[in-house]
Amino acid sequence: MSEFQMPEFQFIETNGIRLRCVVEGQGPLVILVHGWPESWYSWRHQIAPLVAAGYRVCVPDVRGYGGSDKPEPIESYDMVSMTGDIAGLIDALEAEDAILVGHDWGAPIIYVASILHREKIRAVCGMSIPYTGRPPVPAIRIFKKAFAGKFFYMIYFQEEGVAEAEFEADLPRALSTIYRRGSVDAPRDGVFQAKASSVAFLDGTSPPETLPCWLGEADLAYYVSQFEQSGMRGPINRYRNFERDWKALPQLADEKITQPSSFISGACDPTLTMFGSADTLAVMKTLTTDFRGERMIEGIGHWVQQEAPEETNEALLGFLDSL
């Protein structure tokens, strides 16, 4: 798998569940939190450089993924539970605090953890998804209004079992399509483009003829094997908690991230312009009190730490050196 040596795993009890983690190195604790639809493996290019730089690195499969526990209820994937998992890892690893790094859904998880578990979080670095705080109404309501009559994947995910059945029927096609569409050279059709709300996620798309350059056949096969193990229910359940999270966390409307923070993204990440021209990074800067800069990597899409590992590592280590 891209000349990557498979690590040993630890199973760590946290917050009432067990997470499969890679834990390597000595020094200040850094926890790397992946997004959807990914795995600990998304951070394969960051582990060794962080260890070499003098950090202890913990890379979990988020609950519902890979080798970690997979609770059935939708509410098991609310933000209180997800952030509690991260806080519990810090305790289980007997660390005083940790630096959190999160990509995609991992970014909101670490942002909210920095507020709910402030005393345990030393600093945060988000990737691809800036922090935008608590919206005036649950985000899913905003999506339904913005995409009325049109397909939007987060709306499609709301009905239990539908997206799971579609993806699990052909995991190689589903995953390769998602990874390809988030890359910088994505075709201008398909899952992130306008189509009727009545269609399925993969309708109107063709199986990618080639994989993006950052993803080898063996890499894709490993991701497929992880979702064959876990299924898609847990990962998609995260998208079914917008209403629950909004009601449970009113404090997010007023509190800011006070720890040192930074942001790294591909400059061509389609998620940055998914909702038009809104400058979400500018919003993040108003919601943090110690923002130490951003790195926008030119010619790179959504999967930034895999598409541009050297540039990502340089930016991340630069942020860590500032602490």
Residue 135: is its pLDDT beyond 90?
Answer: yes
Phi-psi region of 170 (alpha: psi -120 to 50; beta: other; left: phi over 0): beta
Q: Does residue 2 lie in a domain region?
A: no
165 within domain boundaries = yes
Mean pLDDT, residues 210-221 taken together: 94
Residue 1, domain member (yes or no) = no
Amino acid, single-letter form, for residue 318: G
pTM, two decimals, is: 0.96
Residue 168's pLDDT is: 98
The top-scoring range by mean pLDDT among 148-157, 194-203, 277-286 is 148-157
Supply the pLDDT for residue 5: 82
pLDDT tier for residue 231 given thresholds of 50, 70 and 90: very high
pLDDT computed for residue 205 by the predictor: 86
177 inside domain: yes
199, 205, 206, 209 alpha-carbon torsion, rounded to 10°:
-150
pLDDT at 289: 98
**Residue 84 binned pLDDT confidence (cut-offs 50, 70, 90):** very high
Mean pLDDT (whole number) for 176-204: 81
CB within 8 Å of 201: residues ≥ 6 apart: 153, 156, 163, 166, 167, 174, 191
- Inside any domain, residue 3: no
Residue 3 pLDDT level (bands cut at 50, 70, 90): low
Instruction: State the helix-helix crossing angle for 79-92 and 106-116, rounded to 10 degrees.
Output: 70
**CATH, residue 99:** 3.40.50.1820
Q: Quick one: what percent of the chain has pLDDT higher than 70?
A: 95
Mean pLDDT of the chain: 94
258 occurs within a structural domain: yes
CA-to-CA separations, 43 to 39, 89, 199, 202, in angstroms, rounded = 8, 17, 33, 27
What is the pLDDT, as a whole number, of residue 1? 46
Total of domains in the chain: 1
pLDDT at 274: 76
Catalytic residues: 104, 302
**Is residue 78 predicted with pLDDT exceeding 90?**
yes
4 in a domain, yes or no? no
Domain containing residue 132: 10-321
Q: Are the C-beta atoms of 322 and 292 separated by less than 8 Å? A: yes
pLDDT computed for residue 184 by the predictor: 85
- Residue 235 within a domain: yes
Residues 294, 281 contacting (CB under 8 angstroms) = yes
Q: Are the C-beta atoms of residues 258 and 289 closer than 8 Å to each other? A: yes
pLDDT in tens, 36-65: 999 999 999 999 999 999 999 999 999 999
Average pLDDT over every residue of 283-289: 97
